[in-house]
Chains A and B, each alone.
Chain A
Amino acid sequence: MHIVVCMKQVPDSAQIRVHPVTNTIMRQGVPTIINPYDLFAIEEALRLRDQFGGEVTVLTMGPPSAEDSLRKALSFGVDRAVLLTDRFFAGADTLATTYALATALRKIGAEFGAPDIVFTGKQTIDGDTAQVGPGVAKRLGFIQLTYVSRINSVDVDKRLIEVERRAEGGVQQLQSRLPCLITILEGVNEIRVGSLTDALKAARAKLVRWSAQDAGVEDITKCGLRGSPTIVKKVFAPQPRAKKAEFIELGDKPGEALVEALFQRQTNLESALEKLARGY
């Protein structure tokens, strides 16, 4: 079985700072990590490989520095890493990203064997759109299984897969043909620590590095900023909603003092409560 995981290198959101004046995200010095949701996809792919044999390939589109994240994926025991990097890809929205990824996936199919399953995480922590997985599936004509919480069975011979999908109001049990694209939910597994041999292999592995041309992109205008109809109009940091806590001296009549203090600060509260009480 050939499983491909699409992953993304993202800034570690726990350590991001917003520039106080320009309101832009200060990426300088912010460590990058594998999108945490993608780790579940990688682990699930590795488990299927361990069970049924075959190979796991990870694919990412990003700057040359995304190599760090790919190497990390290799250290978990992933067999191959493909880095799609080209200045033509810069500034891509989800539409342009799915175009590039789908193109690269076709190329991966041609070079290393057609993928039986493509995994993605539920969404990324920097874009939060959850559109790229479904978009790639659509472009490849794959059946898409989104928000999968469990893989119940895979029948390699009959090329069938059965999964549980978390949906509004319940869990759906779905059966699908292979190939398919699965976006997997968080918390369904825990990423492994690779063996020492895996780690050594990862440190020395040669990554597959493709430019737009290498990947077989035919229409460069569908890539990057040019291929992105999305326009960022404004970036702003939301005003913090919570006000600072206040200490109130309660004295010897704490109940009364508290009510008084509340009514003073919320001028409409008293009349609203009174109205409510009269209504009963």
Chain B
Amino acid sequence: MIEERFDAIVVGAGMAGNAAALTLAQRGLKVLQLERGEYSGSKNVQGAILYADMLEKLIPDFREDAPLERHLIEQRFWMMDDNSHTGLHYRSDDFNEEKPNRYTIIRAQFDKWFSKKVQEAGAVVLCETTVTELLQDARGKVIGVRTDRKNGQVGTDVVVLAEGVNGLLGTRAGLRNRPDPSKVALAVKEMHFLPQETLEARFNLKGDEGAVIEAVGTISEGMTGMGFIYTNRESISLGIGCLVSDFERTGQTPYGLLEKFKSHPSVKGLIEGSEVKEYAAHLIPEGGYKAIPQLFGDGWVVVGDAAQLNNAVHREGSNLAMTSGRLAAETIFQIKSRRDPMTKENLALYRKMLEDSFVMKDLKKYRNMPELLHIRAQNFFLTYPQLVSKAMKEFVRVDGVTKAEKEKATLRSFLAARSIKGIIGDAFNFARAWR
């Protein structure tokens, strides 16, 4: 072990790791942050939407120099069948506010900026350094890490595991299980570059305004999944994700789904003539509240995706990551300032702070949703979107058939696809899971 010791070592430089390292450094602790990528952001993948509120808590004036793409003024939800989509479309000029709430970002650039802030706060950030093992004493207390560099062992009071959804350190050390395939989604995305004017014309945007489309339906081939289209300054992030266990079961491929999504008549025109510059894939925790592992122990805490903290219903992840990183850091700071040891008992405060925050409250609210959407995937992601599509088509078509007859036909088509008991049951279950 090298001579130098640190108050805390943060493993990983994504949203959670950066939030933790920043907070720890701001509180005056001696922090070492280790990242395997070439720089913070080089390996981080997200759609990506940034929620301002959680970042404001860390860096109040982030808007001054953070690399933000567009602030969102429009949200579209699409229910798709093979040739059509039924949409809910919310656009408001109120979102053109002084301090917008949501931005699209490109993580490779954003995280680099974030990491600079961490360094400026005084943390030592080492990239291209992979942590290969947690060092534990005879009683299992984490006392340091081993890296892939020569003479690469370094000691610390506490390790913050911000190693991402599939982090191997914690699972190897037996601190938590690897995520179950039915509890993680595999999402793939492409970056489509377009001239700024073209992009703005296609989405009816001006200046820094941005739009988001989120889509479910036949695009996921009956699997639990969702597609998305985000507008950046001069590119479109477009992707789709489904549960890993669903891919396993159906033999569908992620890139196959993506191709299908891209060639859908509602999508095709939006990306026409674009140049694809990037293809990325990422695992997303989808298990919700019930999938959250043990979050702390002797000499360690786990934050962000590694802790499966993701609100699948609202597509929120990075804000939960940032918040958990910050709260873990606050916990460590409090223990440290009392000069107490980083024991399991003391670090339990982290869990309590999470419980008191929106993170756990939101996840708890939707605790039954992941299972419901999974078990009833066929209905929610295939049958209902098709039925809605059909109903809409009947509704808008003028062909001499009486309206009463049309309504009857629509009802019949619903009942033919799913019994009245099934429909009401689904609605009931959905409402309960939402409550």
Contact = CB atoms under 8 A, between A and B. Distances in A.
Interface of A: 17, 20-21, 29, 31, 75, 193-197, 199-200, 203-204
B151 A197 contact: yes
Given A17-B193, A17-B277, A199-B126, 13 more contacts: A29-B109, A31-B39, A193-B128, A193-B150, A195-B149, A196-B126, A196-B129, A196-B147, A196-B153, A200-B4, A200-B32, A200-B126, A203-B126
B195 to A, nearest CB: 7
Interface in B85-140: 106, 108-109, 124-126, 128-129
Contact of A195 (B4, B109, B124, B150): B150
A75 to B, nearest CB: 8
B154 A196 contact: yes
Contacts, number: 45
Nearest to B129: A199
A179 B185 CA distance: 61
B149 A196 contact: yes
21 contacts: A17-B193, A17-B277, A20-B195, A21-B195, A29-B106, A29-B108, A31-B38, A31-B42, A193-B149, A194-B149, A195-B149, A195-B150, A195-B151, A196-B2, A196-B150, A196-B152, A196-B153, A197-B151, A200-B2, A200-B4, A203-B126
Contacts of B152: 195-196
Interface string B28-53: 00001000001100100000000000
Chain B residues touching A, range? 20 to 34
A21 B195 CA distance: 10
A203 B150 contact: no
B195 A199 contact: no
Contacts of A195: 149-152
A128 to B, nearest CB: 24
Which of B106, B124, B193, B277 is the most central at the interface, judged by chain A CB atoms within 10 Å of its CB?
A: B124
Contact of B124 (A17, A31, A193, A200): A200
Contacts of A75: 128
A193 B147 CA distance: 12
A204 B124 contact: yes
A195 B148 CA distance: 9
A195 B2 CA distance: 10
6 tightest Cβ-Cβ pairs between the two chains A and B: A195-B150, A196-B149, A196-B152, A203-B124, A199-B126, A195-B151
B149 A203 contact: no
A203 B154 CA distance: 15
Nearest to B153: A196
A195 B129 CA distance: 10
A31 B41 CA distance: 11
A199 B109 contact: no
B40 to A, nearest CB: 12
Contacts of B108: 29
B426 to A, nearest CB: 45
A196 B152 CA distance: 5
B234 to A, nearest CB: 10
A21 B106 CA distance: 23
A22 to B, nearest CB: 12
A197 B108 CA distance: 27
Contacts of A29: 106, 108-109
A237 to B, nearest CB: 14
Contacts of A196: 2, 126, 129, 147, 149-154
Contacts of B125: 203
Contacts of A20: 195
B277 A199 contact: no
A240 to B, nearest CB: 14
A196 B131 CA distance: 11
B187 to A, nearest CB: 22
Contacts of A200: 2, 4, 32, 124, 126
Contacts of A31: 38-39, 42
Contacts of B277: 17
A196 B34 CA distance: 11
A267 to B, nearest CB: 33
A251 B334 CA distance: 80
A31 B112 CA distance: 10
Nearest to A15: B277
B298 to A, nearest CB: 24
B180 to A, nearest CB: 35
Interface string B48-67: 00000000000000000000
Contacts of A203: 124-126
Which of B150, B151, B153 is the most central at the interface, judged by chain A CB atoms within 10 Å of its CB?
A: B150
Interface string B195-233: 100000000000000000000000000000000000000
B332 to A, nearest CB: 21
A256 B4 CA distance: 77
A29 B109 CA distance: 7
A75 B193 CA distance: 35
Which of B147, B148, B149 is the most central at the interface, judged by chain A CB atoms within 10 Å of its CB?
A: B149
